[in-house]
Every structure is written in structure tokens, then in C-alpha cells.
Amino acid sequence: MIYLDYAASTPMCDEALNMYNTLNKEMFGNASSLHDAGGHAAYALDFSRQRIADMIGGQKEGVYFTTGGTESNMLAVQSILNGLPQHKKHWIMSALEHHSMYNLAALLERQGYELTIVQPDKEGRITRDNLLPYLREDTGLVSVQHANSETGLIQDLTNLSPLLRERGIVLHSDAVQTFGNIPIDVAALGVDAISISSHKVYGPKGVGAVFLRPGTPWRPVYPDTLHENGFRPGTVNVPGIAAFVAAAEMMTKQMELHQERYARLRQYFFTKIQERSIPLRLAAQENNKIERLSHILGCFFHGYEGQYVMLECNRSGVCISTGSACSAGHHEPSPALQALGASSREALQFIRISFGKTTTAGDLDVLVDILTDLTSRQERSLSR
């Protein structure tokens, strides 16, 4: 099997597996227990919290562990809105957000919050000019994804944060795709909160984190919660968290090396596509005005629905996707792709290819051969 869906999930690395096994055997106590076993687990938890804070340039007191990116998004946004003054019932998110944010929006609407969805410009950017007309006296929170999971487009949060800070508006960012892949410094970005996830960086599934800058107002979604300083209920998964940290440290140390290799693989793939005249084009065209994650290639395959292309690849032993795994099974156009100007027809022709640590040019050759065969079939069908 050739796996090219690393933006959806990654395998656990040896560093994470070793840490997970060790702590499950040696530090299995409940971190809230007062005996020595609990104390050892609490120490590991505190150490993990500090290491995550170090990796994002934040403070240990602002790190809260969760079960993953979706819960991180939902708890971060709800907790912040709960903590804002009563009149701050308006919040904003970009049209490029992850499926989990759209689900949350429906829930918050029933709770009396008003949402404005801001569209990107023609380059795919959320800019000050995009946001400014929608900022109101009752706006309490803006959420802009750091990098889109379908196209890899990276937003310039440093450009947005001063505009919001001077108005007392909290800035949250879903950094699930960027954490471990590009440097993140919460102070330099000017964000008040970010969401991150373990299984995107070769750690275990079911683990994630929220960073809330100390001083940012928030109130628990679940009242009287005791764990994670009241941020979420349930016994803390110390072995999983430590494994997450081990994986994140490995990725952070090798970040520059990985990105250089991904950029070469990206160029190699598109060179092959051009040589074979395969009707594949990027969903967000390359330009120098906006950065993107090199390992995510969101494309339209003209003439075929993305789901069919994915199934044909799977039949040949190659795993790609048709977008975010969290929206799989919902056969409808992606809001993010439509926000970038794709028609409903084009959006259904979308496929996503994403590289990982072990991806090779040979893997891409196999994929190109499959796409070449699909192109030939299409040409034969049209010539009849």
C-alpha cells in the first residue's frame, strides 16, 4: 500500500510508540491521585505541558490537553465565548475553516450566538480588508484557520492580530495542519488561542491540545469540571500526551528538512503531470502572495468526480482523499473550495494528495501512472 493521505492522519513514529509503551507500564497512575503513582503521572503531565508551550512560544499555564483537533476547536471557541461579556454575542470565522467549526457554528446559533462567515479574497487570503467591514461593537471572537486542510493555504495571522487586539477581540486559530510542519510562535502571530492535534504529527490518535494565552477570558463548557484546570472533564491520558510530545519534538527538530523534501516532491509530481498531459490543476493556484504547506496538494481532476478517482487509486493500492477525513461520507461541495471560487461541479472533482516522512518519488510515479490511465480512458470515451 502507498499512503498519500498524511493530512488526514499519520502513523505513530517510534519515538511516540516507545514513550507510550513506557509510560503505560511505568506511569499509569491517575495524575489527580495524591499517592506516588499519581505524583509521577502528574510530573510527566506537567513536563509535557511545558514542552508543548516551548514549541509554540507560549506559557505552560495556557496549555490544556484534549482528545484531538475537533474537540480543541469546539472547546476553545465555546470556552472563550462563555467567558466574554454578555453583550459579546457576535463571532466571526473564515469560510475556509475545518468541518468541525461548521458543526460548532450550528450548535452556537441555537445558544443565541450570531455568526458571520468571511470569504477570502481571490488569492485565498483572509485580510484586514476582508475582516474590517464585519467587526462590530458586539464582536467577541474571530477564528481563522492557520492553514487550510484541503489546499494547504497559510493565512497571515500577524497581519490580522493587531486589528483585533486594538478592538479587544479574541483571535483563535486552528493550527492542526501547521503545528509540527512550520514554525509556530503564538506571541509573534499575535493569536490568543490555537488548536493542535497529535495524530497529524506522528503521535497517537485521541490526543490534542488548546493553547489559551493567560489572561484570555474563558469559562468552562462543562461546569464544575476538575481536570485540566476546569477546561475539560475526564481522567487525563498521560501516556498519550507524553507520546504526542515525543512525536511533536521529533517533527519540530526535522521541520526544515521535511519541508525542503516536500517542496521537491511537489515539483516532481507536477512536472510528471505536465509531461503526461493529465488534466489536473491546483484548487488554489500557485502565486508568491500567499504561502502554503508544500506537502498538501489539493487538485481538481477534470472529467472525473474526486470520489471515483479516490476509489480507483485505492483499487490500485494508493491512498488519497477527497478532502478532510472529518467530512468523508458527506457527498457535497466543500465550503472552503467554493469560497475559493470553485463551482459545485469543480468542487466534486476535488482530490487531495498529501506527503509524509516516507513518501518517495517512486510512490508518486505509481500515482501518476494511475492518473494517466484514467486520462486515457477519458480520452477514449470522448473519441467514441
Q: Which residues are catalytic?
A: 326
As a whole number of Å, the end-to-end CA separation of the chain is 34
Q: How far apart are CA 230 and CA 227, in angstroms?
A: 5
Report the candidate in 306, 297, 311 with the shortest Cα–Cα distance to residue 364.
Answer: 297
Q: How far apart are CA 134 and CA 114, in angstroms?
A: 12
State the CB neighbour count (10 A cutoff) for residue 32.
Answer: 13
Asked if residues 17 and 243 have their Cβ atoms less than 8 Å apart, the reply is yes
The residue type of 301 is: F
CA dihedral 24, 26, 30, 35 (to 10 degrees): 170
Asked if residues 135 and 165 have their Cβ atoms less than 8 Å apart, the reply is no
Q: Which residues contact 17 (CB under 8 A, 6 or more apart)?
A: 243
Grid coordinates belonging to 248: 511533536
- Residue 87, class by beta-carbon neighbours within 10 Å (0-12 exposed, 13-18 middle, 19+ buried)? exposed
Report the candidate in 160, 168, 146, 81 with the shortest Cα–Cα distance to residue 293.
Answer: 146
Q: Which residues share a beta bridge with 197?
A: 208
State the CB neighbour count (10 A cutoff) for residue 213.
Answer: 18
